[in-house]
Amino acid sequence: MYRMQHFKTLADLCRANNMPMPEHPLITVYRCDKVCTLGDREFTTDFYMIGFKKLKSGTFLYGRTKYDHDNGSMSFVKPRQIVEFKNLEFDEDGFLIFIHEDFFNGHPLRTEIDKYGFFDYEANEALHLSPREEQLMWDLCLKIQSEYHNNPDEFSRDIILTHIDSILKYSQRFYKRQFINRSEISGRTVSRFNEVLGDYFGKGSSEGLPTVGVVASQLNLSSRYLSDLLKQETGKTAIELIHIYLINEAKNRLVTDDQSVSEIAYDLGFENLPYFSRLFKKETGLSPNQFKKRQLN
């Protein structure tokens, strides 16, 4: 029976894939000269991976999503995320930076890296770069590579992490630009988001409360990407928009339906009436009963 391989060390990853052995046990930079293959099946690691590539053919899969190789882009993979690189052929050279999570220990990036939502994006939500942005990323990669190959001293790690931090900050900026440039797509996503919620509530309360994951899967997006996309477009995260939708639906039913507050809450998927009441008051400033009485008066 096939058992998915998990790489705990960079040396194991390199050895298994005929890559040059790392000069540092916790970080390595791998330059892809138009061809890059890491195994022939899915695997997981204890590393963060930052990659730039323009795929011509082959399979790059992570997060259970096949990479769309029609466009060149950067991707970001976090530890223990399922990955597959198979027979990749690039239009241009690319790079892969592998950073063991322990490399961040004691550094501010150890906690800050979790704030970068793009590590939770699917492969088809990768970052598409302009030529100028590509050059900037290559410059940072080459600086990391130069420091990596030089004789290490007490400054090496901090310098490398500074460049990695810059890559992440620029990536955040470029994703914002990508959302703005794709505002037409974003607008459609907001409409489709509301359509999915409408369809969801049309099925009745047996489904329970809608989650970001459920809505995102209907839109073929990852939860984190959907939330960031909606935040850029509307100023609200996906869960905030779900709450707003729930309360607007509740307000309408409180005014038009001859149902009790508990019946309305149950129909909307709430199993906990106090939770419904708290959420309603948070959004409206009134309890459900207060709102109903005010509308009736």
Most confident of the ranges 171-175, 182-186, 191-195? 171-175
43 or 36, which is more confident? 43
Mean pLDDT of the region 116-143:
84
DSSP-assigned beta bridge partners for residue 77: 49
Does one domain contain both 91 and 201? no
Of the ranges 44-53, 94-103, 117-126, which one carries the lowest mean pLDDT score? Answer: 117-126
Position 159 scores a pLDDT of: 94
* Distance of alpha carbon 38 from alpha carbon 35, whole angstroms: 10
User: Mean pLDDT throughout 201-227?
Assistant: 79
pLDDT of residue 122: 67
Asked whether the predicted pLDDT for residue 276 surpasses 80, the reply is yes
Q: Do β-strands 55-62 and 83-90 pair in parallel, antiparallel, or remain unpaired?
A: antiparallel
Distance between CA 17 and CA 11 in Å, rounded? 10
56: Cβ contacts below 8 Å, ≥ 6 apart: 34, 69, 89, 90, 91
Alpha helices in 27-130 (DSSP H): 109-112
pLDDT at 95 over 50: yes
Question: Given a cut of 80, is residue 112 above it in pLDDT?
Answer: yes
Distances (CA, A) of 116 to 110, 168, 221, 228: 12, 8, 17, 11
Same-domain status, 61 and 165: yes
Please report the pLDDT score of residue 35 as a whole number. 56
Contact 167, 211 (CB under 8 A): no
177 and 188 both lie in a single domain: no
Using the 3D structure, point to which of 181, 212, 239 is the last residue of a domain: 181
- As for how many domains the chain has, the answer is 2
- Chosen domain end from 125, 158, 181: 181
Final residue before a domain boundary, out of 145, 165, 181: 181
Its domain, for residue 206, covers 184-296
State how far the Cα of 258 lies from the Cα of 131, in Å rounded to an integer: 61
| Domain identity same for 174 and 66 | yes
The least confident of 31-40, 102-111, 136-145 is 31-40
Dist. CA 79–CA 7, nearest whole Å: 10
Per-residue confidence band for 17, with pLDDT thresholds at 50, 70 and 90: confident
Q: Does residue 175 sit in the same domain as residue 236?
A: no
CATH code, domain with 232: 1.10.10.60
Instruction: Please report the pLDDT score of residue 272 as a whole number.
Output: 84
What are the percentages of helix, strand and coil residues in the chain, rounded to 5?
Answer: 55, 20, 25
Give yes or no for a contact between 54 and 109, defined as CB atoms under 8 angstroms apart.
no
Same domain for 115 and 143? Answer: yes
Q: pLDDT band at 67, cuts 50/70/90?
A: very low
pLDDT of residue 71: 47
Burial class from Cβ neighbours inside 10 Å (0-12, 13-18, 19+) for residue 42 reads: middle
Helix (H, G, I), strand (E, B) or coil at 141: helix
Do 241 and 97 belong together in one domain? no
Mean pLDDT over all residues of the chain?
A: 80
If asked whether residues 176 and 203 sit together in one domain, one would say no
Share of the chain above pLDDT 90, in %: 19
User: How does residue 45 score in pLDDT terms, banded at 50, 70 and 90?
Assistant: confident
Higher pLDDT pick, 239 / 40: 239
Residues 214 and 123 in one domain: no
Residue 70 pLDDT: 45
We report the CATH number of the domain holding residue 49 as 2.60.120.280
Are 12 and 150 in the same domain? yes
